[in-house]
Structure formats: structure tokens, C-alpha cells
């Protein structure tokens, strides 16, 4: 589990095609890897991945074809910037919201507009996710915990403060770029509870 509060940004160092999948090396001078062990989970732009090799300032992950097809990772290349967050530990502060790192859909940035020192961003809303979003609810975009400002049938908006723009890859994201979306877990469980009970 993660919080959606990004600890550092990094970049893709290498993409190695292997039999049936891909191994990627992710590097970051800002992410402390001292307490990371082989097998630990790290959210990379919102995707929960397992560290399979470790270096001084980098780690390797194996990415399955399913993950490549269902997230933005299939389009990543050397130097692609990424958001990074190590897994939540019991006792850590939960400053964002509970994020699993299981991407629900990929969407694109529709517009960006200045709003004082902040920016208002609008994203495409895949039809299958519309029922999970609500104004003032939570969503993770490329692993960043954000509050939904408003939602309609085809798009939704969020507000990005200067700190978020400076400390995540949103500062380098442009209109038309694709992002990973994960809806709030609470919305999914609420939907499940509303299903009719079986015999």
C-alpha cells in the first residue's frame, strides 16, 4: 500500500527486452534506497512494482506484458521521468489516501490553466471509471494523491499547487500526455457492498 505522497522523482535508466517481458532500471539520486530490500514494493508513477535488483541509486523491476498493456509503462523509454514512493509501513503517517498501485485505466491530459499560483488540470475520464469519481473525492494520477474538483461524463478536474508541480513529474507533463489512473479504494468497496446479496 502507498499514500500517494511522492517521495522523489527519478528516470528510466534502461529498458531491456527479455523473454516475454521487460526489465527496467529506475534511477534516482533523491530516493533513499538504504532500507529497500529485494522483493520490496515501490510505486513507480502509480504502478506497484517489485525491486528485483538493487544498486546505490537505482533499482530494477520486471514488468509483465499485462502491466505494459494496461499502464503507461508500455510507452516508457530511457530518460522517461517517473514519480517514486516506497511502500507504506505500519505507523507511517497517511497524509494522502490509501493507494494500492493497481492502475485502473490510462487517460490523457486535456488542458492546463493557470489559477493564481496553482494550476487547474483536466483529464480524460474513461467511461468505466465515471461512477467511481465524485467532487472532493480522491484519485491517484501517476501515483499522486489528488482531490477531484469536479467531474462530468467525459472528464474531471484537479488543482495542482506549486509544491506538487515542483516535486512530481507534473512539472514536465504536457497536454496530450498519458497518465495512470487509480480510483479511490473506498469507492470500489462501496460499490461492492451495494451489489445484491446472493442466496
Q: Please choose, from the candidates 97, 100, 117, 108, the residue with its C-alpha nearest in 3D space to the C-alpha of residue 46.
A: 100
In angstroms, the Cα distances linking 65 to 31, 129, 175, 184 are: 27, 23, 27, 25
pLDDT (0 to 100) of residue 199 = 59
Q: Does domain 8-86 have CATH number 3.60.15.10?
A: no
Query: Can you list the residues of the chain whose pLDDT is less than 50?
Result: none
pTM of the model: 0.94
Phi, psi of 190 (to 5 degrees): -60, -40
Q: Please choose, from the candidates 158, 155, 48, the residue with its C-alpha nearest in 3D space to the C-alpha of residue 108.
A: 155
* Domain boundaries 105-194, CATH class: mainly beta
> Cα separation of 68 and 72, whole Å?
7
Are residues 45 and 51 in contact, defined by beta-carbon separation less than 8 angstroms?
no
Q: Write out pLDDT tens, residues 55-76.
A: 999 999 999 999 999 999 999 9
Q: Please choose, from the candidates 100, 74, 131, 119, the residue with its C-alpha nearest in 3D space to the C-alpha of residue 1.
A: 100
pLDDT (0 to 100) of residue 198 = 64
Domain limits, the chain: 8-86, 105-194
Identical fold at 8-86 and 105-194?
Answer: yes
pLDDT (0 to 100) of residue 104 = 96
Q: With left for phi above 0 and alpha for psi between -120 and 50, is residue 136 left, alpha or beta?
A: left
Amino acid at each position: 500500500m502507498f499514500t500517494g505522497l511522492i517521495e522523489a522523482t527519478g528516470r528510466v535508466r534502461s529498458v531491456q527486452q527479455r523473454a516475454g517481458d521487460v526489465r527496467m532500471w529506475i534511477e534516482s539520486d533523491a530516493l533513499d534506497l538504504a532500507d529497500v530490500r529485494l522483493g520490496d514494493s515501490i510505486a513507480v508513477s502509480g504502478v506497484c512494482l517489485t525491486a528485483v535488483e538493487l544498486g546505490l541509486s537505482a533499482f530494477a523491476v520486471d514488468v509483465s506484458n499485462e502491466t505494459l498493456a494496461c499502464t503507461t509503462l508500455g510507452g516508457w523509454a530511457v530518460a522517461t521521468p517517473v514519480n517514486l514512493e516506497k511502500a507504506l509501513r505500519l505507523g507511517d503517517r497517511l497524509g494522502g489516501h490509501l493507494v494500492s498501485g493497481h492502475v485502473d485505466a490510462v487517460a490523457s491530459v486535456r488542458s492546463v490553466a493557470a489559477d493564481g499560483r496553482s494550476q487547474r488540470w483536466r483529464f480524460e475520464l474513461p467511461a468505466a471509471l465515471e461512477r467511481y469519481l465524485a467532487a472532493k473525492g480522491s484519485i491517484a494520477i501517476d501515483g499522486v494523491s489528488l482531490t477531484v474538483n469536479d467531474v462530468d461524463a467525459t472528464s474531471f478536474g484537479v488543482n495542482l499547487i506549486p509544491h506538487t508541480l515542483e516535486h512530481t513529474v507534473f512539472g514536465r507533463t504536457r497536454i496530450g500526455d498519458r497518465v495512470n489512473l487509480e480510483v479511490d479504494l473506498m469507492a470500489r468497496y462501496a460499490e461492492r457492498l451495494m451489489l445484491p446479496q446472493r442466496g
